[in-house]
Amino acid sequence: MNYDFDLGSVVAELPYLLGGAVVSLQIAVITFFIGALFGLFGALGLVYGSTASRRVIRGYVTFFTNTPALVQIFFLYYALPDLGLLLSPITCVLIGFVLNSAAYLTEIIRAGVISVRRAELDAAQALNMSGAQIVIHVILPHVARTIYPPLSNFFIILVLGSSLAALFGVEELTGRAINVSTTNLRTIETFGAVAVIYIAITFVASLSLALLGRWAFRVRTRIF
Amino acid sequence: MLQRILTEAPEFFSTYNMLFLLEAAGRTLGMTLIGCSIGFALGLVLAAVRGSSSRPLAPFRTLSIIYVETFRRIPFLVILFIVLYAIQPVFPDASLTLIATVAICLLSTAYLSEIIRAGLESVPQQQLESAAVLNFGPLRTLFSVVLPQAWRVILPPAVAFAVMFIKDTALASHMGVVELTFAGKIFVERGFSPALGFGAILVLYFALSWPLSRLGVHLEKRLAAARNP
- Chain B contact probe: residue of A2, A5, A72, A74 with most B CBs at under 10 A: A74
Measured CA to CA, the distance from residue B196 to residue A62 in angstroms comes to: 21
Answer yes or no: are the C-beta atoms of B166 and B148 closer than 8 Å. no
A10-18 average pLDDT score: 89
Answer yes or no: are the C-beta atoms of B110 and B75 closer than 8 Å. no
Sequence-separated (6 or more) residues with CB below 8 Å from residue B64: B46, B47, B49, B50, B113
Nearest to A191 among B82, B168, B184 (CB): B82
pLDDT at position B229 is: 47
Measured CA to CA, the distance from residue A43 to residue A36 in angstroms comes to: 10
Residue A163: list chain B partners with CB under 8 A.
Answer: 75-78
Residue ranges in chain B modelled with pLDDT below 50: 229
pTM: 0.89
B171 to chain A, any CB pair closer than 8 A? The answer is: yes
Of B181, B186, B209, the closest CA to residue B77 belongs to B181
Answer yes or no: are the C-beta atoms of B123 and B150 closer than 8 Å. yes
A83: pLDDT strictly greater than 90: no
pLDDT at position B214 is: 93
- Cβ–Cβ of A224/B90 closer than 8 Å? no
Q: Which residue of A has its CA nearest to B195?
A: A79
Residue B209: list chain A partners with CB under 8 A.
Answer: 66-67
Name the percent of chain B lying above pLDDT 70. 98
> Where do the domains of chain B lie, and which CATH numbers do they carry?
2-227 (1.10.3720.10)
Residue B206: list chain A partners with CB under 8 A.
Answer: 63, 66-67
Choice between A219 and A209, residue whose per-residue pLDDT is larger: A209
User: B24-34 pLDDT, tens per residue?
Assistant: 999 999 999 99
Residue A161: list chain B partners with CB under 8 A.
Answer: 75
Of B196, B155, B179, the closest CA to residue B80 belongs to B179
User: A156-190 pLDDT, tens per residue?
Assistant: 999 999 999 999 989 999 999 999 999 888 888 89
A86 to chain B, any CB pair closer than 8 A? The answer is: no
pLDDT at position A221 is: 65
Nearest to A74 among B82, B90, B198 (CB): B198
Residue B166: list chain A partners with CB under 8 A.
Answer: 68
Angle A205-A206-A210 (CA atoms, 0-180°, nearest 5)?
115
Architecture of domain A8-217: Orthogonal Bundle (1.10)
Tell whether the torsion through CA atoms of B86, B87, B88 and B89 is positive or negative: positive
Find residues 91-120 of chain A whose CB sits inside 8 Å of chain B.
Answer: none
- Cβ–Cβ of A74/B206 closer than 8 Å? no
User: B182-210 pLDDT, tens per residue?
Assistant: 999 999 988 888 888 899 999 999 999 99
Of A164, A194, A205, the closest CA to residue A16 belongs to A194
Q: Which residue of B has its CA nearest to A203?
A: B73
CA of B135 vs chain A CAs: smallest distance (Å): 32
B205 to chain A, any CB pair closer than 8 A? The answer is: yes
Measured CA to CA, the distance from residue B199 to residue B184 in angstroms comes to: 9
B73 to chain A, any CB pair closer than 8 A? The answer is: yes
Region of poorest pLDDT, from A58-67, A111-120, A169-178, B115-124? A111-120
Nearest to B74 among A79, A167, A198 (CB): A198
Residue A177: list chain B partners with CB under 8 A.
Answer: 78, 81
B167 to chain A, any CB pair closer than 8 A? The answer is: yes
